[in-house]
Structure 1
Amino acid sequence: MKFVKNIAVALCVTAGLASAANAAGAGKHPKQVEWKFNGVFGDFDYQSAQRGFQIYKEVCSACHSLKYFRFRNLDKLGYNEDQIKAIAAEYEVDGDIDDAGDETVRAALPQDAFPSPFRNDNAAASANGGAIPPDLSLMVKARHDGANYVYSLLTGYEDESAAPEGINVSAGKYYNPYFKGSVISMAPPLSEGIVEYAEGNPEANLDQMSKDLVNFLMYTAEPNLHDRHKMGVMVIIFLSVLTILLYFSMKKIWRPVKEGKNFYEDAE
């Protein structure tokens, strides 16, 4: 009876903690999507990531930077050197201080990172209702279950009338149950017709665009994932072969001992 009572108490405590988390505005558990880049043999869907880059350029880059991702890293997405130079040249970054001591700007180069669209945090906050748009370079890695979280956030906007009691969606804010607190300053970034994919690509609907953008953001967070997985497989194969060789070597060395013989005398 005491054991059953302890279980009941534990369940009550767990339920209480869950209720407290919900009351505190913990985000809804993300939708679960199968991603090609998951798993030991995972790799990127490069065509999807290219479409995601298009979305970033045409939509996300108006507010979000990629300060840890350099233009030259686009090479593994299938862009050649000239294309990367052309893409970089579309952006401006800080240049050298001139002879008068003033700051200058210049066209970005392949070795530069994607710049922020705002000069500083104050400018970013002023343009976004007091909220500073986060850098997206490592967003997928920075959040728990990051790929599914970002996908759920992009597809999870609901009308404010769907917000449960106790959640107040003020003017200029939006209801998204997957966001911590459920009230987010960012307007729904993706909608039908906001981008147009080239002929031969899937339809640019909300679900497809969200998956494409997640694939690109996963690439920005870990552009060497393919090489790392390939190296990991090679290391596992090497260690497996080494283990087999060591096992049979050990059997050969210790066999005379088990038979009561001196190994070295037996070898002679």
Structure 2
Amino acid sequence: MTLEKQLPLWAGLLTFAGAALLLFSASTVVRRSNDNVGIAEALSAAAVIAALTGVGVALHWLAKGNAPGVALDEFTETSLRVLALMAAGLTLLPRIHETPGPIGAWRGHVLLCLGLLYALFVPGMAINPWWGGPGRAVVNGLAIFNVLTIAFAAPAALAFWAANRLYMRQRLFARIYAIAGALLTLMWLLLEIRHAFHNGEMAAPEHGLFESACYALAVLAFALVVAIVARMRVKKTRIGRLRKI
């Protein structure tokens, strides 16, 4: 099987992997020589982009049904692309004791924000199995152990992870990621409830009384958890400030 009938898939993936490895190696050499931090950051960012491109090609190849026994629909493919973007962004965020240049300061945030926007506008709206438009996804399978968890819960977890890492250093970005993670979590809860009642027919117009009550309880529980976490965070911040004094 070839990619676009020109290059074997394995050769294409090997090319992307080799390019990523060479770029990362060059970045390491430049960084250790202390010649130019900006060049090192640009090279490592290019290495990540090459790796992401390879992942995207592999996912698209699987979605085309080229692998026997592997079913990857558009919703799953998109969700995995989101996770790849966000995971790459997390790895590129500046470390605690690191003083990055302009590229190093922004590259992780750019990838994380792209991943979150991708998650919110494509799985979250365009092809959402409940309220999406034409071509919306159809989700079957067990509750929780389905593609909704990959599409919403997993990106939410990565967003919360980023928020926790950045809260004491870059509070604005931390709050942005926390809000995005909370929104994805709420969407996941509501969609899982919908899936539990309707399985593969989530776009059906019917709403039962018990189903509506479950939505209300989920929103109330979610709001309570948000309030508790916010209070704990404020308390932790105050303790940290007192220790510095």
TM-score in terms of structure 1 length = 0.22
Larger relative contact order, structure 1 or 2 (CA cutoff 8 Å, min sep 6): 1
TM-score for both structures, normalised by structure 2? 0.23
More strand by share: 1
Q: Which has the larger radius of gyration?
A: 1
Which protein is richer in helix relative to its size?
Answer: 2
